[in-house]
Amino acid sequence: MDSVVGKKSSLTWAVHISLLLLVLLWLFPTVGLLVSSFRTTDQIATSGWWNSLTPSVQNYTLRADPPEKQIEKDGKFVIEGNLFDKGTEAVISVWGVSSQEISTYKAGETGELRDGGTVMVAPNGDYRMENIEAFDGRRGQRLFVTAETPPEFTTNNYESMLLDENNNEGMAKAFFNTLTVTIPATIIPILIAAFAAYALAWMDFPGRALLVAFVVGLLVVPLQLALIPLLKFHNEIGLGKGYVGVWLAHTGFGLPLAIYLLRNYMVGLPRDIIENAKVDGATDFQIFIKIILPLSFPALASFAIFQFLWTWNDLLVALVFLIDSTGETTVMTKQIVELLGTRGGNWEVLATAAFVSIAVPIAMFFMMQKYLVRGLLAGSVK
Amino acid sequence: MHPALQGLLTIIIGVSGCIGYFYFSNQFLDKVLFPAKGVNAGRNINRANMIRPWLFLLPALLALGLYLAYPVVETLRLSLTERLPGNESAFVGLANYQQMFSEPKFWEALKNNMLWLLIVPALSTLFGLLAAQLSDRVFWGNIAKSLIFMPMAISFVGAAVIWKLVYDARPIDQDQIGVLNALYIYFGGDAPQNWLTTPFWNSILLMVVLVWIQTGFAMVILSAALRGIPEETIEAAIIDGANPFQVFFKIKVPQIMGTIVVVWTTITIVVLKVFDIVFAMTNGQWETQVLANYMYDKLFRANDWGVGSASAMIIMLLVTPILVWNVYNVRKEMK
């Protein structure tokens, strides 16, 4: 448009900035969850994810080694060690010996213990407790420190949600169940729809226009209506709840869009090719398999990505047709909803679970975006 | 059998079954039923060609009929009957509807759905139009579009988790980990709010999730429409001295009005069926109930098929005008 105006519009900067703001606004929530899934439980609970790159100041309640570790040295009883776990890089600023006074002393100073004796805490967590009498009791002295920890990221959340076989809240099983639902539910409707779409696009028969209208009508029928009648039907024919049921249901629900998309695409294929093939003696079946199907690849891909996203992300159909009381066939969306109920505040669990389920469709999205856009453009009823 | 194996087997059976059906039924038609030879060759070819379309259509029609058309009729029947013990049912007329209309939860769901219908399509279309117009004017527009479009790939449940973190509330003496409360406190709010349990605002915040998802869809469609506008109309307007805002609102928007309506109605249908977001985030508590979730409650928690089917029919009723309009347009187009 700039070329038309002849000069750079004074709005150009405003456009750049508003678009940038819009994009950041749209990305922000997702990035938040992604970052959270790589943070430790403590960090998620105590600071916002947007602070994850800056050192965080937190209060810790830590314990010195128990009295049994004490050694006698120069007539004094000494317990020495480091308050932090190995590998933690934290810098203590202030500390105290009771929960009411957590900032009595600066790091490096020596403080008085209430039961007698002194304790010195260094910034790096090294401490030295001294007393002329022996320390008694079974547990170590509690120390309250305020420390600054550097940014820390971990893959532990993913390891425990995906690889830990003892974790019954894990996502591994649900991941494979989702995959098992998705792939047949994506492939089967394509084939059925392709034949029907060919008939609706290139074969002449009475009632064709009516059938197209029928398909367009079904396009918007809410699948909520289908739940009970089909569940009843599945029970009556002995299918019950299970994979076969959910595959059939997804096939049925996906067909209107599939037929509509493919028909619209096939109608646009050049008439000459098809008529030439007919003159050469090809049957409809041969024309379909050898000419139409390969030429329709973009439309097939469009529908495939739609159906994949829809079946992968689906919750309702899986709840109704697949997941029985044993929960063996749970899918990821259902698993996440359960975690939302039971682990509502444990964001490391929730964020990781959600990202395991989001990752695959997002990867598909970026690989096949072209076809998704084409499908959307062709699929919205004009 | 392992489900993955079962899945693989299903793909093989399904695909080869389909191909086998189409191949052999065509063979049967051409070679056995109406062979294209002998004295009746010509008549046979014509007959075969009359039957063939139906061979191609049969599996799809069966599936469509059984999985979409029949349920509409059956749900209508269920909504007029009462379930009796032993798989029996009795016709009860409109009693289920009467019962439903007497429930405050239903009116709450209907009221909320209306609010969703007003807000979500409007905001999604508006943001979509804005994003489309802005991204068409910068060199990094395609990247911007990709990123705004991305939430389309995220499940409603995943989006629910993403936004629940945004709305999270911690006790007042702790750092807020939810962006909304952090901003609220930063701009002088007194105490962190439990957004999802605050009536009215919680519904709005649930709608935000769907707007966030649907904006990408609106943007993609509208962006294509904007690019399809004939250049001359814009040039003429600029020569006549229109400023960029006038060009946008008076030249471009009127020309893509048809597409805006399409986007609007498509999102309206999504809104009418919205279930997962409410189910995962509030489950209809705190006055956030919507029809689809109300229906799920009735069908699978209260086990009341009558009222559940009645509420499904209400959703169907709300979709019907769009259905009729779509069918009307397609028929017009085909003539």
Which of B117, B150, B157 is the mutation pick for testing A, counting most A CBs within 10 A? B157
CA distance A133 to chain B (A): 40
Residue B14, chain A, CB below 8 Å: the answer is: yes
Same domain assignment for residues A207 and A253: yes
Residue A317 included in any domain: yes
Chain B residues with CB inside 8 Å of A364's CB? 153
CA distance B98 to chain A (A): 19
- Is A283 close to B26, i.e. CB distance below 8 A? yes
- Domain range for A249 is 160-379
Q: Residue B277 and residue B157: Cα distance in Å, rounded?
A: 6
Same domain assignment for residues A132 and A239: no
Taking residues B241-269, report their average pLDDT.
86
pLDDT band at residue B124 using 50, 70 and 90 as cut-offs: very high
Mean per-residue pLDDT over chain B, rounded: 84
Chain A residues with CB inside 8 Å of B167's CB? none
DSSP of A6-42: SS--TTHHHHHHHHHHHHHHHHHHHHHHHHHHTS-HH
Q: What percent of chain B has pLDDT over 90?
A: 6
* A-B C-beta contacts closer than 8 Å: 346
pLDDT band at residue B215 using 50, 70 and 90 as cut-offs: very high
The burial of B32, by beta-carbon neighbours within 10 Å (0-12 exposed, 13-18 middle, 19 or more buried), is given as exposed
Neighbours of B141 (CB within 10 A): 17
Residue A236 included in any domain: yes
Same domain assignment for residues A300 and A177: yes
Query: What's the DSSP call for residue B178?
Result: S
- Is B152 close to A309, i.e. CB distance below 8 A? yes
Q: Which of A107-121, A249-263, B7-21, B70-84 has the highest mean pLDDT?
A: A249-263
Neighbours of A353 (CB within 10 A): 30
Q: Residue A248 and residue A242: Cα distance in Å, rounded?
A: 10
Residue B23, chain A, CB below 8 Å: the answer is: yes
- Is B57 close to A217, i.e. CB distance below 8 A? no
Neighbours of B21 (CB within 10 A): 16
- Is A227 close to B299, i.e. CB distance below 8 A? yes
Identify which of B64, B175, B326 has the shortest CB distance to residue A252: B64
Number of H helices, E strands in chain A: 16, 9
Which residue in A has a C-alpha nearest to residue B183's C-alpha? A48
Q: Any alpha helices (H) in A203-346, and if so which ranges?
A: 208-219, 227-236, 243-267, 271-279, 284-287, 293-295, 297-313, 316-321, 332-342
Mean pLDDT by 10 residues, chain A (382 residues): 49 85 90 85 77 75 80 81 75 81 80 79 82 78 80 78 75 84 87 89 85 87 86 84 86 90 86 86 83 88 89 89 80 86 79 88 88 79 52
Which of B24, B117, B124, B177 is the mutation pick for testing A, counting most A CBs within 10 A? B177
Q: Residue A360 and residue A309: Cα distance in Å, rounded?
A: 9
Give the residues across from A128 on adjacent strands.
Answer: A80, A120
CA distance A227 to chain B (A): 8
Q: Show the tokens assigned to A290.
A: 């050898």
Taking residues B215-238, report their average pLDDT.
88
Query: Which single residue is written with the structure tokens 């969703």?
Result: B116
| The total number of structural domains that make up chain A | 3
CA distance B114 to chain A (A): 17
Dihedrals φ, ψ of A72, to 5°?
A: -100, 130
The domain boundary residue, chosen from A121, A149, A177: A149
Q: Please give the sequence-ordered ranges of beta strands (E in DSSP) within chain B, or none if there are none.
A: 81-84, 88-91
The domain boundary residue, chosen from A149, A172, A206: A149
Chain B residues with CB inside 8 Å of A382's CB? 258, 262, 329, 333
Choose between B32 and A26: higher pLDDT: A26
- Is A22 close to B160, i.e. CB distance below 8 A? no
DSSP of B288-317: T--HHHHHHIIIIIS--HHHHHHHHHHHHH
> A12-37 and B104-135 are packed helices; what angle lies between their axes, rounded to 10 degrees?
130
Identify which of A23, A195, A216 has the shortest CB distance to residue B22: A195
Burial pattern B288-306, b for ≥16 Cβ within 10 A else e, equals bbbbbbbbbbbbbeeebbb
Chain A residues with CB inside 8 Å of B15's CB? 187-188, 191
B54 touches A205 (CB < 8 A)? yes
Same domain assignment for residues A196 and A323: yes
Same domain assignment for residues A36 and A63: no
Residue A154 included in any domain: no
CATH 1.10.3720.10, chain B: domain bounds: 98-334
Cβ neighbours for B272, distance < 8 A, ≥ 6 positions apart: A222, B113, B117, B291, B292, B315, B318, B319
Residue A286 included in any domain: yes
Superfamily holding B98-334: MetI-like (1.10.3720.10)
pLDDT at B318 exceeding the cut of 60: yes
Q: Residue A53 and residue A333: Cα distance in Å, rounded?
A: 30
Same domain assignment for residues A178 and A319: yes
Query: What's the DSSP call for residue B139?
Result: T
Q: What is the CATH number of the domain that holds A189?
A: 1.10.3720.10
Residue B189, chain A, CB below 8 Å: the answer is: no
Q: Element (H or E) spanning A226, and its range?
A: none
A92 touches A147 (CB < 8 A)? yes
Identify which of B4, B78, B262 has the shortest CB distance to residue A228: B78
Which of B24, B29, B67 is the mutation pick for testing A, counting most A CBs within 10 A? B67
Q: Any alpha helices (H) in A105-207, and if so which ranges?
A: 156-158, 172-202
Q: Element (H or E) spanning A347, and its range?
A: helix A347-367
Q: What ipTM was assigned to the predicted interfaces of this complex?
A: 0.85
Which of B47, B66, B134 is the mutation pick for testing A, counting most A CBs within 10 A? B134
Cβ neighbours for A218, distance < 8 A, ≥ 6 positions apart: A256, B64, B68, B69
Same domain assignment for residues A315 and A261: yes
- Is B7 close to A309, i.e. CB distance below 8 A? no
Query: Which single residue is written with the structure tokens 């014509």?
Result: B46
What pLDDT score does A2 carry? 45
Identify which of A4, A316, A380 has the shortest CB distance to residue B235: A4
Q: Residue A200 and residue A292: Cα distance in Å, rounded?
A: 13
What pLDDT score does A9 carry? 60
Neighbours of A328 (CB within 10 A): 10
What pLDDT score does A1 carry? 44
CA distance A97 to chain B (A): 22
The domain boundary residue, chosen from A29, A52, A75: A52
Residue A39 included in any domain: yes
Residue A203 included in any domain: yes
- Is A184 close to B10, i.e. CB distance below 8 A? yes
CA distance B74 to chain A (A): 6
Chain A residues with CB inside 8 Å of B60's CB? 192-193, 195-196, 255, 259
Same domain assignment for residues A143 and A188: no
Q: Residue A40 and residue A364: Cα distance in Å, rounded?
A: 29
What pLDDT score does A69 carry? 78
- Is B319 close to A221, i.e. CB distance below 8 A? yes
Q: What is the pTM of this model?
A: 0.83
Residue A182 included in any domain: yes
CA distance B158 to chain A (A): 5
Same domain assignment for residues A339 and A229: yes
Same domain assignment for residues A310 and A204: yes
Residue A266 included in any domain: yes
Same domain assignment for residues A232 and A351: yes
Identify which of A11, A30, A362 has the shortest CB distance to residue B162: A30
Same domain assignment for residues A8 and A116: no
- Is A228 close to B75, i.e. CB distance below 8 A? yes
